[in-house]
Amino acid sequence: MEWEEKITQWIDEHKDEYTKFLQKLVQEESTRGQESKGQAVIVEKCRELGLTLDIWEIGDHKLFHHPEFHSDRSDFKGNPNVVGILKGTGGGKSLIVNGHIDVVPVGDEKDWTVPPFSGMLKDGKVYGRGTTDMKGGTVAILMAMDAIISLGIKLKGDIIFQSVIEEESGGAGTLATLIRGYKADGAIIPEPTSLKIFPIQQGSIWFRLKVKGKQAHGGTRYEGINAIEKAMAVMNQLKKLEDFRNKGITDPLYESVPIPVPINIGKIEGGTWPSSVPDLVVIEGRYGIKPNESVEDAKIEFVEALNQLKEIDSWFQSHPVELEWFGARWLPGYLDIDHPLVQTVSGSYKKILKTQPVIQASPWGTDGGILSQIGNIPVVVFGPGVTEKAHDFDEFIELKSLWAAAKIIACSMIEWCQIDE
């Protein structure tokens, strides 16, 4: 029996065990600042697999003073990073498999038809916050490693499993792994790609705009300048900028992505009284960065668009929009589709699913930009889970996609790291 068949058979025989493991992991609410219990479940599994463990709390001076550290959090105590290493015999390529333990808040629980942290199993799906983004991907990694270990397959290269915090808030956890010295010849991040292969991804940065007006009584509003009306002009300008930037993207991997690098308005605050003309509106949003674009170049285009407002409306000449870059940032990533890592994952996909994989650009950013741009590590984003259910209510993962991802990732590990005969 070929090792691909052995991997497939082993995973098929251990579905119940890993379904329960996923449920247990989802039942630990690992929202921001509460990651420790989820990491404890990961640590327990890593010890069962016999991995060499490194558990540490991030947040030393090297992290805080790194030029790519972008976070509004200054205290990470009690919520560690976890790295588990399957040491190779030597001579093969090494591989990082990186997953994040943090999940986004559940939002309004009234929208959920199942308890958000139940891990409920129904009709071949496990439900709960984090099932698809991305505890399902993390379980696929560990299941793949378990299969390799249990079958006695010895690899030449190291496999470095990472369960990091803070991905949803800018990637401080993955940045900390690089500072700690973890590097490899390649990396796979099993975010929910619907089993598509993403070799390129956009980055993003958060912005805050302050749009000024002039106060007046609502009964004589013509004596004031309504900041909300001026904010509408600003948002219209941002829409024009979005259209302009996306027209310049011709990469065929973006053919099925309606807006490759969106500009999203996520929060607006303005006004203090219904009968008063508001004199200030604050707009916060997310600015998409092209895969092969620097953050600084993207910023320049944004500033130029705001400066054009002065030509459209004379009010902005004496009352320019105030811009602040704040909070989280995700670096973009780019890997040629002919790169050996892309070919390795593609080949494993074809062996397991007997069909051609779909290769596309990622519609969002991941920690892959940190690994590729700062660590100079080739990165492929590939994993189970429905892309559209990430951050949504009634989040779920189809178990059949998890088993397929585990098989493909295991085969990719073997092909990349090489078997020691």
Average pLDDT over residues 361-372: 95
Average pLDDT over residues 62-69: 95
**What pLDDT is stored for residue 388 in this prediction?**
86
Report whether pLDDT(328) > 70: yes
> What is the bridge-based pairing of β-strands 125-127 and 197-201?
unpaired
- Angle between helix axes 399-417 and 3-13 (nearest 10 degrees) is 150
- DSSP conformational letter for 272: S
Domain boundaries of the chain, sorted by first residue:
3-201+332-417, 203-330
This prediction has a pTM of 0.94
Confidence band (pLDDT; 50, 70, 90) for 346? very high
Both ends of the chain: CA-CA distance in Å?
15
Question: Does 55 or 169 have the greater pLDDT score?
Answer: 55
- DSSP conformational letter for 321: P
CA distances, 99 to each of 83, 140, 207, 364, 367 (Å): 10, 10, 27, 15, 9
What residue has token string 């407002």? 309
The distance from CA 171 to its chain's CA centroid, rounded to whole angstroms, is: 8
**What pLDDT is stored for residue 38 in this prediction?**
98
User: Phi/psi of residue 242, each to 5°?
Assistant: -60, -45
- pLDDT single digits (tens) 88-105: 999 999 999 999 999 999
Confidence band (pLDDT; 50, 70, 90) for 421? confident
For residue 296, what are the contacts with CB-CB under 8 A and spacing of at least 6? none
Confidence band (pLDDT; 50, 70, 90) for 74? confident
For residue 280, what are the contacts with CB-CB under 8 A and spacing of at least 6? 210, 211, 212, 213, 227, 270
pLDDT averaged over every residue in the chain: 96
- pLDDT single digits (tens) 208-253: 999 999 999 999 999 999 999 999 999 999 999 999 999 989 999 9
- DSSP conformational letter for 154: P
Cα four-point dihedral sign 116, 121, 126, 130: positive
Instruction: Say which CATH superfamily domain 3-201+332-417 falls into.
Output: Zn peptidases (3.40.630.10)
Active-site residue, 167 included? yes
Rounded to an integer, what distance in angstroms lies between the CA atom of residue 238 and that of residue 207? 12
**What pLDDT is stored for residue 73 in this prediction?**
86
CA nearest to 138, candidates 184, 83, 92: 83
Rounded to an integer, what distance in angstroms lies between the CA atom of residue 29 and that of residue 278? 40
Topology given in CATH for the domain delimited by 203-330: Alpha-Beta Plaits (3.30.70)
Whether 188 and 409 have beta carbons less than 8 Å apart is answered as yes
At 297, list the tokens. Answer: 């170049």
Rounded to an integer, what distance in angstroms lies between the CA atom of residue 19 and that of residue 23? 6
Letter string b/e over residues 231-265, b meaning 16 or more CB atoms within 10 A of that residue's CB: bebbbebbeebbeebbeebeeebbeebebbbbbeb
Q: Express the helix, strand and coil content of the chain in percent, nearest 5 each.
A: 40, 20, 35
User: Phi/psi of residue 332, each to 5°?
Assistant: -75, 170
Average pLDDT over residues 191-216: 97
CA nearest to 162, candidates 26, 59, 53: 53
Active-site residue, 279 included? no
β-pair partners for 134: none
Rounded to an integer, what distance in angstroms lies between the CA atom of residue 148 and that of residue 86? 10
Peptide bond just before 232 cis, omega within 30 deg: no
Report whether pLDDT(1) > 80: no
- pLDDT single digits (tens) 6-29: 999 999 999 999 999 999 999 999
Catalytic entry in 102, 168, 279, 398: 102
DSSP secondary structure letters along 92-146: S--EEEEEE--B-----GGG-SS-TT---EETTEEESTTIIIIIHHHHHHHHHHH
Report whether pLDDT(272) > 80: yes
Rounded to an integer, what distance in angstroms lies between the CA atom of residue 46 and that of residue 342? 27
CA nearest to 216, candidates 233, 228, 203: 228
Catalytic entry in 146, 167, 242, 279: 167
The distance from CA 313 to its chain's CA centroid, rounded to whole angstroms, is: 38
